[in-house]
């Protein structure tokens, strides 16, 4: 039987693809990867073969199509029994933090698009972005202090919540750590050193595609 197939976009730009890939990698589910470059004729021609939603990521497993990053992460957790904290209270908080990332922080995502190859892009955050950064700093610090006493992650052991905030970690590496406190900075350092994210980042550095506006530093998603 063939392995599940995860369809992703550019590793450098596609934050939602990164979340699904990290979640599946950490839960231990074996899967293959097919990458389609974003904003290209190839993407427009090919993505419809995998999902009517025409977006990445998409997971295909034995004819079942899962076209949302959180649904993909939950599928991996259901298949393996790994992905969420064992403690019911910590698990509820981890799910809440993940859902907040899934639907929130729109100002930050617009103003600071993910671009793993870039460094030193100092963009002064507007008030809405500052509010998002303040909330992320508070959330990470609270989770680490309440649940992270047996490991470097938000809930001690790596969880879907960590996979979900990894693109924020990458954004902070690109745009600067000036807006978060010391505990959150330690979390960023641990995340950047984590082998799966390091593997993804190395592949992103090897990509050559540029999205429109990359020449003038406006790219990412």
Each domain of the chain, given as residue ranges in start order, spans 5-80, 88-206
Q: Which two tokens stand for residue 159?
A: 């969880």
* Domain 88-206, architecture per CATH: Up-down Bundle (1.20)
d(CA 26, CA 73): 10
- List per-residue pLDDT tens for the chain, 221 residues long: 689 999 999 999 999 999 999 999 999 999 999 999 999 999 999 999 999 999 999 999 999 999 999 999 999 999 999 999 999 999 999 999 999 999 999 999 999 999 999 988 888 899 999 999 999 999 999 999 999 988 999 999 999 999 999 999 999 999 989 999 999 999 999 999 999 999 999 999 999 988 876 654 433 33
Beta bridge partners of 66: 59
Return the CATH fold of 5-80.
Glutaredoxin (3.40.30)
Choose among 160, 161, 177: nearest CA to 120. Answer: 177
Percent of the chain at pLDDT above 70?
95
Q: What is the DSSP letter of 156?
A: B
125-178 per-position pLDDT tens digit:
999 999 999 999 999 999 999 999 889 999 999 999 999 999 999 999 999 899
Are 194 and 22 a contacting pair, CB within 8 Å?
A: no
């Amino acid at each position: 039987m063939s392995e599940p197939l995860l369809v992703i976009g550019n590793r450098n730009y596609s934050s939602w693809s990164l979340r699904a890939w990290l979640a599946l990698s950490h839960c231990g589910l074996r899967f293959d990867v097919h990458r389609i470059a974003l904003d290209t004729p190839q993407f427009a021609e090919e993505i419809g073969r995998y999902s009517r939603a025409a977006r990445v990521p998409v997971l295909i497993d034995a004819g079942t199509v899962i076209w949302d990053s959180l649904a993909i992460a939950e599928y991996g957790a259901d298949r393996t029994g790994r992905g969420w904290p064992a403690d019911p209270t910590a698990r509820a908080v981890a799910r809440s933090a993940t859902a907040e990332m899934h639907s929130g922080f729109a100002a930050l995502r617009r103003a600071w698009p993910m671009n793993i190859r870039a460094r030193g892009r100092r963009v002064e955050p507007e008030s809405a972005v500052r509010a998002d950064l303040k909330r992320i700093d508070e959330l990470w610090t609270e989770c680490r202090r309440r649940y992270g006493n047996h490991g470097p992650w938000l809930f001690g052991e790596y969880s879907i919540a960590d996979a979900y905030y990894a693109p924020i970690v990458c954004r902070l590496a690109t745009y600067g750590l000036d807006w978060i406190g010391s505990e959150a900075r330690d979390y960023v350092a641990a995340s950047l050193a984590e082998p799966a994210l390091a593997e993804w980042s190395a592949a992103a550095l090897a990509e050559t595609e540029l999205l429109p506006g990359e020449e003038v530093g406006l790219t990412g998603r």
